Structures are given as structure tokens and as C-alpha cells.
Amino acid sequence: MSDPSRPYARGLAFRCLSETKYHPGMGIKDDLGSLPHPDMFKMYPGKRFPLPKPKAEGRGLFLALEQRRSKRRYTSGTLSLENLGALCYATQGVTGQSGPFVLRTAPSAGALYPFETYVFVTDVKALDQGLYHLDVREFALVMLQEGDLSNDLYRGCLNQAMAKKAQATFVWTHVLLRCAAKYRNRALRYIFLDLGHVCQNLTLAAAALDLGCCPIGAFLDDELNKLIGVDGVDESVVYLATVGLL
Ligand SMILES: Cc1cc2nc3c(=O)[nH]c(=O)nc-3n(C[C@H](O)[C@H](O)[C@H](O)COP(=O)(O)O)c2cc1C
């Protein structure tokens, strides 16, 4: 990317995001050759000290931790607005202020939150079908596009059926510069770490509400960027998660 108005797009972090995109009909091209599969666990031979497991009964968070599973099959029906609100709150609810920083339910390096949250609504009470953006400070969804976009979303998610069946699908884009202006190329690490926290909050909240939820990392980058209406450089889709009735 040699756009003189965006010199930062030449930086390692931006190039890495761009060069690891999926494109229709092809995998990632690289020069790594075949790679060995490392062991899935590291084991030290020393003495084991068994730990007590938390008792889940009546303990919301621990019950949600125990019950969370990636669930990809949903029944038809309508998701309540209360539940969608609770899920949005879990991901990005505002819980404090520290100087200029608007603090949220999920941590973020430097409190910079270098991402945006979008929600595809397919069947949610009191909301028209369409694409929405989450206004974090007003805690409101802003409609960007009206209509049933579930087929486009399904294709963008490499034909994963859950994207068509879900009542709502969260999509997170990076806004890398928000973080790179301070952390330079190291910002690349933080966007993924930050969004891991955000998505885990969503999966736990969904478990607590007896809803199905599944993260999605396999998608066609440019197709989804186009669908959302972002340019793929300053802002680009990095992660999604479906939510559906069980
Ligand atoms: C970063 C990330 C990307 C994922 N992408 C997909 C995906 O594209 N499709 C899918 O069906 N599951 C996806 N998953 C779900 C994993 O397959 C799932 O978490 C894993 O199998 C462990 O199962 P569990 O979540 O039920 O514990 C993803 C999970 C993560 C954390």
C-alpha cells in the first residue's frame, strides 16, 4: 500500500494485517514452506498440586465459565432487545471514566479501544433487520443499512451456516491507528489481545443468558469490509461472533 496520505500503511503492523487476509478461493500465500506441528501442551515433570475447582451453583460467572461452549446451531425465533442490550453491555458497556478515557467492561491497552463494534440484526425484537454500529458512549445502536443481509454475511463468513441462522452477529473492526499512534507497530499485538477480551465477555454473557454464541475468525476480509462499508486499511474487519437462540 503506497498511499502518500497514509504513510503508516507501509508499517509492519498494517502490512501484516493486509497480507494475512483471506481472499475467495485461495489461502494465505507465504514462503514458510511446511511447518512442524508442535506439542499441544508443555509439561514439566515436577510434583503436581491439585487445585480446587470453583463450585458453579448459584455463582453467575463460574456457571457461565463452565457452560460456555461455541454453539453454532440456532433455532428460529426473536432475540429480545433486553438480551441484545445485555450482550452489547458485556462487550463495551461504559463502567468508568479516567481523565479522557471512557472505561469499559473489557480492558484495553492504554484504554485506547482500537476497534469498532457492528451488529448485523436478523431477528431482534423492536429492531429492523440490518447493519448497526454500536455508539459506545450513548449505548445505542445506529442503523447503517436496512434489510436482510444474512446471505451476504454468510458468504463473507466462508459459507458458515451459523452466520445465516444467527439472530444477531457481532463484527469487530480494528482502528489500528488509534493504538499505533502511541504504541507504533506493537499496536498489532494489542488489537488482537483487546478483542479477545471483548469477545470472551460476549461468549460468557451469552452463556449466562442461555444463548448460543460462536466466535468467527475465518472470513473473507475484503468482502466483509465492503459489506460494513470500511476501507480495509484504516479500518478492517478482524473478528466476528454469532449469537442465536438455542
Ligand atoms: C479466534 C477464534 C476464531 C474462531 N473462528 C471460528 C470460525 O471461523 N468458525 C467456527 O466454527 N468456530 C470458530 N471458532 C471457535 C473454535 O472452533 C472453538 O472455540 C474451539 O473449537 C473450542 O471450542 P469451545 O469454544 O466450544 O470451547 C473460533 C474461535 C476463536 C477463539
Establish if 60 belongs to a structural domain. Answer: no
Note the Cα 222 to chain centre separation in Å. 16
Establish if 3 belongs to a structural domain. Answer: no
Structural domain total, the chain:
1
pLDDT in tens for each of the 246 residues of the chain? 468 888 888 888 888 888 888 888 877 777 888 888 878 777 879 888 887 777 766 678 999 999 999 999 999 999 999 999 999 999 999 999 999 999 999 999 999 999 999 999 999 999 999 999 999 999 999 999 999 999 999 999 999 999 999 999 999 999 999 999 899 989 999 999 999 999 999 999 999 999 999 999 999 999 999 999 999 999 999 999 999 999
Q: What is the pLDDT of residue 58?
A: 67
How many angstroms separate the alpha carbon of residue 202 from the centre of ligand 1?
13
Closest approach atom of ligand 1 to CA 157: 8
Establish if 46 belongs to a structural domain. Answer: no
Q: What is the pLDDT of residue 137?
A: 93
Establish if 17 belongs to a structural domain. Answer: no
Q: Identify the residue whose C-alpha is closest to ligand 1 atom 31.
A: 215
Please work out whether the CB of residue 214 comes within 6 Å of at least one atom of ligand 1.
Answer: yes
List CB contacts of 23: < 8 A, sequence separation 6 or more. Answer: 220, 221, 222
**Global confidence as pTM:** 0.92
Please work out whether the CB of residue 215 comes within 6 Å of at least one atom of ligand 1.
Answer: yes
How many angstroms separate the alpha carbon of residue 138 from the centre of ligand 1?
31
Establish if 150 belongs to a structural domain. Answer: yes
How many angstroms separate the alpha carbon of residue 179 from the centre of ligand 1?
26
Establish if 12 belongs to a structural domain. Answer: no
Establish if 206 belongs to a structural domain. Answer: yes
Long-range contacts of 135-143 (CB under 8 A, 24+ apart): 136/92, 136/94, 136/102, 136/104, 137/94, 137/102, 139/85, 139/88, 139/89, 139/93, 139/94, 141/88
Per the structure, the complete domain to which residue 236 belongs is given by 74-245
Angle CA 142–14–93, to nearest 5: 30
Query: Whose CA is closest to 224, among 212, 235, 211?
Result: 235
How many angstroms separate the alpha carbon of residue 52 from the centre of ligand 1?
27
CATH code: domain of residue 207? 3.40.109.10
Please work out whether the CB of residue 72 comes within 6 Å of at least one atom of ligand 1.
Answer: yes
Establish if 161 belongs to a structural domain. Answer: yes
